[in-house]
Amino acid sequence: MQISPKYNPKETEDKWYAYWMKKNYFHSEPNDKIPYTIVIPPPNVTGVLHMGHMLNNTIQDVIIRRARMKGFNACWVPGTDHASIATEAKVVAKLREEGIQKADLSREDFLKHAWEWKDKHGGIILEQLKKLGASCDWERTKFTMDEDMYQSVIQVFVDLYNKGLIYRGVRMVNWDPKALTALSDEEVIYKEVNSKLYYLKYFIEGSNDSITIATTRPETILGDTAVCVHPEDERYAYLKGKRVMVPLINRSVPVIFDEYVDREFGTGCLKITPAHDINDYNLGLKYKLESIDIFNDNGTLNEKAQLYTGEDRFIVRKKISKELDEKGHLAKIEEYINKVGYSERTDEVIEPKLSLQWFMRMSEMAKPALDVVMNDEVKFHPVKFKNTYRHWMENVKDWCISRQLWWGQRIPAWYLPNREIVVAMNAEDALNLAQHRFPDQHYTLTDLRQDEDVLDTWFSSWLWPISVFDGIRHPGNEDIKYYYPTQDLITAPEILFFWVARMIMAGLEYRKEIPFKNVYLTGIVRDKLGRKMSKSLGNSPDPIQLMEQYGADGVRVGMLLTSPAGNDLPFDESLCEQGRNFNNKIWNALRLLKGWEIDTQIPQPDYAKIAIEWFEAKLNETFINIEDHYDKYRLSDALMTTYKLIWDDFCSWYLEMIKPVYQMPIDAVTFEKTIAIFEKLMKILHPFMPFITEEIWHLLRDRNEDENLMVTEMLKPETFNPLILTKFNTALDVIIAIRTLRKEKNILNKESISLFIRKNNDEKPDTTFDTIVAKLCNIDKIEYVNEKIENAQSFIVKTTEFYVPLLLEINVEEEFAKLKTELEYTFKFLNSVKAKLSNERFVNSAPAQVVDLERKKQSDAEQKIIVIEEQICKLGV
């Protein structure tokens, strides 16, 4: 069989992905197998593949491929999110480039443009995931605005409204002046910024005296309706019953007294602007203060501000501070560091704003959703995020679910001429409801006006594990009963509350069951400087280019080598290079093996028998560890353990052990056993590196059409003899010591040597690995002796002395220095072990086998010291 000298990732990836798709291996239907379901965190329909997607979807693919090989009916559901704010912004920008303003379009015309944009750009990221090797069930691809998904969202809104969990009211909301919509608390990112603290003079009404207040937002004084001080602050006791004048506009406002005020902040006097600060809003309700909204939706000042009408809030800040100074109202300005809220979608500074919005009550749903996490019915990996989750769930606020947009699920509420509201699945149902409630009004469809707003994108995403199987509209259908609950959710900690918590709530509400059993929380992909990768910083490589350069398998390995659950990934492109090198290492191992001539007539050598016995034990021991890593969601550790098994144990040691002499054939038994071992390794590696493993699987031996690695059964752990692994470790030390000796003494590897081993006692020596030591070290004779060998170089492994006779004269000083260094090291090691064993807490609390191991180390070290001291004595120094 002719095997290419170089591995070609692109050719291999294109070939096998197309083949898997043709064989329909990714598709799942309910059957009599146990299901293993993962639903993809739907990326924004606006998105293209970035490094975070690469990490998240590589992890999902590893898990689902392993599940498929372990005999589960594996189903990985892909899809995209309509991303109302981001998508509408993209469409508005596109229309603007074409000279079209959104305001000039009807809702229906705008949505036509939005769907055209989605149809053109919406599938890009899913096609890119195919390049990665994602084995999603593409026939099940969902989009949160699909008709069935849309109707599921509307049905849930109607249901929760009827249960009293959704209501409409005026509240202080987070307003995004760029997207022109309200946001939920979870969509606000707080950043620490360098601000200024303005100290402003408010004159007491009817007096030339003034008080000074401190604020970071001088432009909002135009909406002030009170000044507040602490009732126990003696500095301001004289202000009881007084009023002060708001600078520039001379509005008379009361001085109120409330314990809310922090006497240590600024001057201890607080300006109250109920329309533009949540805490001021609450004080306004408490003291029945007037609320003056001075901002337009786009962040400019309106006529209620009286000054600077139509100008942007930040421009006004600069202008008003100058005017305040000129008119004697500015006492001083200090530099100040504070946290400011930004829109998660547009990065615009949030404006607290009183607004009539739709809200969902969260406290009732939060408690059961908290309980299932705290009792580990839903397990978090890593567990540290349970405390974060608990803190949020115990302090949950009502969710603002309405958005002032057109792209999304339109709120199913209709307003009647009598100012009543009806909520229903559609206009016809709303009319029936209105006619039933108000029979004397004789309403028709033209009397009903539907709410203009759409629902928060997360209000569709929170139903995702249910709605992808149509479990809202048809709760008894075969798919939802079979695939739900799903097994694993792989996502980022930053959407723990946006998405994870809400999905748990929805699952418990609509299925009376958790939506997933495990939540694997990935870290953030960062560059070498520790910065989060982003387009704006220019520090994020293009994943497609990375895959073209290093191959998909190489990039998958690079992403996972340093990505423990919950911890950030310090990404370096050299990791992908390491992944590519791993590809090449495996490929060269295949070429080496398939390049050997096979002779069916020659017997199997002893060294090959013991090498096979050792490696099969090593493989089984390692595979058990790998399975344990998987079970504990330590995928990075599972990969590294697999990597070392193949690179170190198989390529570097096993193949060297069995390799026939140059230009000589290999026996058939060893060759066949090695092919079988290679197959097992490819099974273990396949979830991590699906393309090269499938290619090698088919090059190892002839296969029939359905005998493909992707759907082959995974290994099962087998019993093994751990003693042979212990013996090999000793043999390994001997081999390394001999190779070091050759290097130090400039003895070429082609020159054979003899090895004498001094027996420790009268017991029969263990010769298990002698043939392998002889083969790998080019030793023509191994002999066990009772006495020291003269004129020989020596070394010690554990408590055994080894001698290599040389024609060279031994340099006594060099040998003494070497032995002295080794003696000093062994004494230090012995002392560290003794210190540990003298610690009663360690001896009493550590497992018995751990304590026994330390005692064995002490005994070995003591024996080794005796041997080294004897050698030094015999040198006569």
Beta-carbon contacts of residue 843 (< 8 Å; ≥ 6 apart) = 837, 851
Quote the CA–CA distance of 580 and 558 in Å, as a whole number: 9
List the helix and strand counts (H, then E) for the chain: 28, 31
Paired residues of 38 in beta bridges: 76, 488
Quote the CA–CA distance of 452 and 472 in Å, as a whole number: 24
Report the 10 Å Cβ neighbour count for 514. Answer: 20
For residues 666 and 598, is the Cβ–Cβ distance under 8 A? Answer: yes
pLDDT 10s digits, 34-45: 999 999 999 988
Quote the CA–CA distance of 111 and 107 in Å, as a whole number: 6
Beta-carbon contacts of residue 376 (< 8 Å; ≥ 6 apart) = none
- Phi-psi bin for 566: left (phi > 0), alpha (psi -120 to 50), beta? left
Encode 805-823: b = buried (16+ Cβ within 10 Å), e = exposed: eeeeeeeeeebeebbeebb
* DSSP secondary structure string for all residues of 383-406: TTHHHHHHHHHHT---EE-EES-S
Instruction: Please tell me the predicted confidence (pLDDT) of residue 261.
Output: 92
Placement of tokens 């609320």 in the chain = 291
Quote the CA–CA distance of 720 and 543 in Å, as a whole number: 42
Placement of tokens 């042979």 in the chain = 724
Quote the CA–CA distance of 227 and 246 in Å, as a whole number: 9
pTM score: 0.83
| 569 residue type, one letter | L
Quote the CA–CA distance of 391 and 396 in Å, as a whole number: 9
Instruction: Please tell me the predicted confidence (pLDDT) of residue 793.
Output: 86
Encode 203-235: b = buried (16+ Cβ within 10 Å), e = exposed: bbeeeeebbbbbbebbbbbbbbbbbbbbeeeee
Instruction: Please tell me the predicted confidence (pLDDT) of residue 1.
Output: 62
- Tell me whether residue 105 is exposed, middle or buried, using C-beta atoms within 10 angstroms of its C-beta: 0 to 12, 13 to 18, 19 or more: middle
Beta-carbon contacts of residue 299 (< 8 Å; ≥ 6 apart) = 177, 178, 312, 313, 348, 351
Residue (of 665, 688, 668, 676) closest to 615 by Cα position: 676
Tell me if the bond preceding 485 is cis, omega within 30° of 0.
yes
Residue count of the chain, please give it. 877
Instruction: Please tell me the predicted confidence (pLDDT) of residue 187.
Output: 84
Quote the CA–CA distance of 324 and 219 in Å, as a whole number: 10
Instruction: Please tell me the predicted confidence (pLDDT) of residue 877.
Output: 64
Placement of tokens 């190489």 in the chain = 554
* DSSP secondary structure string for all residues of 626-689: HHHHHHTT-HHHHHHHHHHIIIIIIIIIIHHHHPPSTT--EEHHHHHHHHHHHHHHHHHHTTT-
Tell me if the bond preceding 475 is cis, omega within 30° of 0.
no
For residues 402 and 182, is the Cβ–Cβ distance under 8 A? Answer: yes
Instruction: Please tell me the predicted confidence (pLDDT) of residue 321.
Output: 95
**Dihedral of CA 803/808/809/814: which sign?**
negative
Using DSSP, state whether 840 is helix, strand or coil.
Answer: helix
Instruction: Please tell me the predicted confidence (pLDDT) of residue 462.
Output: 97
Tokens representing 630? Answer: 């998987």
For residues 648 and 736, is the Cβ–Cβ distance under 8 A? Answer: no
Residue 402 — φ and ψ, nearest 5°? -100, 145
Quote the CA–CA distance of 159 and 177 in Å, as a whole number: 32
Low-confidence ranges of the chain (pLDDT < 70): 1, 535-536, 565-566, 762, 807-810, 874, 876-877
Encode 600-618: b = buried (16+ Cβ within 10 Å), e = exposed: eeeebbebbebbbbbbbbb
For residues 133 and 552, is the Cβ–Cβ distance under 8 A? Answer: yes
Helical segments of 689-721, H only: 690-700
Instruction: Please tell me the predicted confidence (pLDDT) of residue 402.
Output: 95
Half-sphere exposure of 44 (CA within 13 A, CB side): 15
